[in-house]
Amino acid sequence: MTASLAVFLAAIALGVPIAFALGGAAVIGLMLMDGVPLNVVATRTFGAIDSFTLLAIPFFILAGELMETGGISQRLMTLARVLVGHVRGGLGNVVIVGMVFFSGISGSTQADAAAVGSVMIPSMKRHGYSAARAAAIVAAAAGMGILVPPCLTMVVYGSVTNTSIGALFAAGFLPAALMAFALMAHQMIDARRAGLVPEERSSWAERARAFGSALWALLTPVIIFGGILGGVFTPTEAAVVAAVYALVVGVFIYREIKPAFLYRALVRTGVTSGIVMLMIAGANIFAWLMTVEQVPQTLAKLLQAAGGGPTLFLVLSVLVFLVLFALLDGLPGMLMITPVFVPLAQQLGVDLLHYGIVMTTVMGISLFLPPLGVGLFIVLGIAGASVKEVTVHLLPYLATMLVVALVIAFVPWITYVVPVSLGLYKVPGM
Amino acid sequence: MKRAILAIDRALGLVESVLLAVLVAAITAVTFAQVFSRYITADPIIWSEEVARYLFVWITMIGAAAAFRLRGHFGLDILRRWARSDSVSTLLGLLTSIFVAGFLVVLLIAGINETVQASGQFSSALPITLMVPYLALPVGAAAALFHLLAHWVQAGAGAHPLDAPDHAEGS
């Protein structure tokens, strides 16, 4: 056990890409075991990729790439502005509400931050927000947006842990709403203190026009959730329908998708899928080795011997996720830790749906955690602010988010209520 | 020699990009056709899921190889950023490259073995043997090894495989 785990940690420290650190450490572990042929590397890699559920990944990536045109984010932000721009906190609220819309059509948090940031940060700067304050609000909102389904993290978590992706999506709604309201409240107090004036109230005619113009984009989440939650589509089918829908809307209605754009979107989808899937394959080989060597059982015994149960484990998990996902860009960090932590959670009786939501919530914070979070740098690049300037504004938001994350971690009801009432999930032992 | 390797590297990158675009378009079309046939027409396609899964294996392996050229793989870079002296960062780069290359060689050999074995297994819905999807493994591993080699040729043996591209032209 110790050999492959030590090799893995050393490889990560050296800077070996996660997929290869996982796979390479597993190879060394296999070599140390008698009678296991190395061909198992090929069969486990093939077995990990050869999955219809995971096909949702390239389709959600493709749908996101195709929706990532300037026109769609502009339309969604205009809708958010006419709806909540006049409330105290003005543009800050527009960012948060707009992020909910945008996250509802895209599965990638980094893409959400880039799309909403590039529309809203310049506009906030024009209205008297400092670059650092604008960047902080976009970063916090994007961290909340990861909980709004569809979410790539949930698709990957669901497929590698055999948790229902539909249930994970449904479970994300209430935590996302909680997070959004907490951020809006925080933001309103902040804006009042800074003396920022809201926008003028929009007329109902303007609202109707903005809604009409954003309607085609807003139908994407309706297709995805209506399809999955209504039991019509599997997540993979919903994802492919969303991708084709995005193509049709982009080509024929918004007329923004040109052949060169489409080619680039297809290639980028292939490359991103390859990167993600190779990590999943590496995690699959490594997870198999961890199971064979009974690592999670050993760790669970150690934790219990030290007097810790599920509560200590959840607190530990939140702390580990917070640091690890900031260091390793979320998804790679998740794939690196699931082979050990998910079986450990099972040993300790932590429900995997709840654990997945806690993991996703913390990831939203980590991705924007100064000084390393990868999402933070996207926002800073757009705003033209330094890490130091933005940290002053961002840390209070992240603290609010961490409090909400802990509430979500210790009140599992928030996770369960939506999927259970929709009949998508049955909590074990209830 | 150096110029030849870099020229092949560029050509290989272009082939990968075109293949990826075609394969992603194909997998989308096939899967969408499956959904369409299941819900709209009364005559569901039975072979589409298997085609999609095998296309996905090819997309993954080619995409993962192409990601080498575009330096798209994720890894931790703290130690490298802290490494002040050139000799330390050369050592880090060398060790990382050896580790990555080692795994790719294992994947290449294991992939060839499994591809040969799969030549006797027939697919359940298609008139092909499982050699067709399994072949993606050695092909992808070989392409990735070639990109790694080209990176060494261009940037020196101590260059870190995760380092920023200086010859990648977008994607």
Indicate the average pLDDT of chain B: 86
- Radius of gyration of chain B measured on its C-alpha atoms: 19
Contact B20 A15 (CB under 8 A): no
- pTM check: above 0.90: no
B168 — pLDDT class (breaks 50, 70, 90) = very low
With CB atoms and an 8 Å threshold, state whether B64 touches A274.
yes
- Cα A319 to the center of its chain, rounded Å: 17
Question: Residues B133-156: what's their mean pLDDT?
Answer: 92
- C-alpha span between A141 and A376 (Å, rounded): 12
CB contact under 8 A, B67 and A18: no
Tell me the C-alpha distance between A219 and A242, whole Å: 9
Does a cis peptide bond (omega within 30 degrees of 0) precede residue B161? no
State what percent of residues in chain B have pLDDT above 70.
92
Flag whether residue A28 sits within 8 Å of chain B, measured between CB atoms.
Answer: no
What are B169's two structure tokens? 């032209």
Instruction: Report CB contact under 8 Å: A268, B171.
Output: yes
Q: Is the CA virtual torsion A104, A108, A112, A113 positive or negative?
A: positive
Q: Is A269 on the interface with B (CB under 8 A)?
A: yes
Find the residue in A nearest to B100 (Cα).
A20
Distance from CA of B162 to the nearest CA of A (A): 8
Measured between alpha carbons, how far is A239 from A331 in angstroms, rounded to an integer? 19
* Distance, CA of A290 to CA of A313 (rounded, Å): 19
Calpha distance B42→B19 (Å, rounded): 33
Burial (0-12, 13-18, 19+ Cβ within 10 Å), A230? exposed
Q: pLDDT band at residue B69, thresholds of 50, 70 and 90?
A: confident
Q: Which of A266, A269, A271 lies nearest to residue B72, judging by beta carbons?
A: A271
> With 70 as the cut, is the pLDDT of residue B30 above it?
yes
C-alpha neighbours within 13 Å on the C-beta side of residue B114: 26
Q: Tell me, what amino acid is at A30?
A: L
Q: In this complex, do A16 and B99 lie within 8 Å of one another by their Cβ atoms?
A: yes
pLDDT at A87: 83
Window 345-384 of A: residues touching B by CB (8 A cutoff) are none
Please state, in angstroms and rounded to a whole number, the distance separating the CA atoms of residues A40 and A285: 8
| Contact at CB, B73 and A21, closer than 8 angstroms | no
Question: Does any CB of chain B come closer than 8 Å to the CB of residue A45?
Answer: yes
Task: Count residue pairs from A and B with Cβ separation < 8 A.
Answer: 187
CA A328 to chain B, closest CA, distance in angstroms equals 6
Task: Give residue A310's pLDDT.
Answer: 86
Is residue A217 a contact partner of residue A75, using CB atoms and an 8 Å limit?
yes
Which distant-in-sequence residues (6+ apart) come within 8 Å of A170 by Cβ?
A149, A229, A418, A419, A422, A424, A425
- The two tokens of residue B160 are 């870190």
Torsion of CA A78, A80, A84, A85, to 10 degrees: -30
Chain B: closest CA distance from residue A281 (Å): 10
Cα radius of gyration rounded to whole Å, chain A: 22
Give strand pairing partners of B122: B129
- CA–CA gap between residue A110 and residue A64 (Å, rounded): 11
| Contact assignment for B67 to A275 by CB distance below 8 Å | yes
CA distance A334 to A152: 12
Whether A24 contacts chain B with CB within 8 A: yes
B82-93 pLDDT tens trace: 777 778 888 888
Query: What is the amino acid identity at position A6?
Result: A
Cβ pair A267:B61 closer than 8 A: no
Task: Give alpha helix (H) positions in A50-89.
Answer: 56-67, 70-84
Provide ipTM, 2 decimals. 0.91
- What's the confidence (pLDDT) of residue A429? 62
Q: Which residues of B touch A240 (CB under 8 A)?
A: 28, 31-32, 35
Q: Which segments in chain A show pLDDT lower than 70? A: 1, 70, 429-430
CA distances to A181, A233, B152, B164 from B9, rounded to whole Å, are 51, 42, 12, 17
Handedness of CA B66, B67, B71, B76 (dihedral sign): negative
Contacting A residues, span 213-232, partner chain B, CB-CB under 8 Å: 232
Is residue A147 within 8 Å of A170, Cβ to Cβ?
Answer: no
* Cβ–Cβ contact A50 with B under 8 A: yes
Give CA–CA dist A210/A81, Å, rounded.
Answer: 9
User: What pLDDT is recorded for position A1?
Assistant: 55
Contact (Cβ atoms closer than 8 angstroms) between residue B51 and residue B126: yes
Instruction: Name the pLDDT band for B169 (thresholds 50, 70, 90).
Output: very low
d(CA A331, CA A110): 11
Q: Which residues pair with B129 in a beta bridge?
A: B122
Whole-angstrom Cα distance, residue A52 to residue B152?
A: 37
| Amino acid present at A160 | V
Of A13, A43, A237, which has the smallest distance from its Cβ to B114's Cβ? A43
Sign of CA dihedral B26, B32, B37, B38: positive
Please answer whether residues A99 and A112 qualify as being in contact, where contact means their C-beta atoms are separated by less than 8 angstroms: yes
Contact A23 B103 (CB under 8 A): yes
Amino acid at B159: A
Q: Which of B31, B49, B51 to mutate to test the interface with A (most CBs of A within 10 A)?
A: B31
Angle between helices A165-194 and A387-410 in degrees, nearest 10: 130
Q: What are phi and psi of B129, to 5 degrees?
A: -95, 165
Q: What is the pLDDT of residue B167?
A: 43
Distance CA A49, CA A273 (A): 10
CA distance A278 to chain B (A): 7
Which one of A40, A42, A240 has the shortest CB-CB distance to B28? Answer: A240
pLDDT in tens, A302-317: 887 877 788 888 999 9
Q: Answer for the pair A100, A57: CB distance below 8 angstroms, yes or no.
A: no
Residue in A with minimal Cα distance to B115: A42
Give the pLDDT of residue A405.
95
Could you tell me if A386 lies within 8 Å of chain B, comparing CB atoms?
no
B60:A281 CB<8 A: yes
Judged by phi (left if over 0) then psi (alpha if -120 to 50, else beta), residue A255 lies in left
Per-residue pLDDT for B166 more than 60?
no
The predicted structure's pLDDT at residue A160: 87
- Chain B residues whose CB is inside 8 A of the A275 CB are 63-64, 67, 72-74
Contact (CB<8Å) B53/A263: no
CB-CB: which of B25, B32, B56 is closest to A266? B25
DSSP per position, A329-369: TTHHHHHHHHHHHHHHHHHTT--HHHHHHHHHHHHHHHTT-
Q: Least CB-CB distance to B24: which of A11, A51, A270?
A: A270
Q: Return d(Cα A349, Cα A314) in angstroms, integer.
A: 11
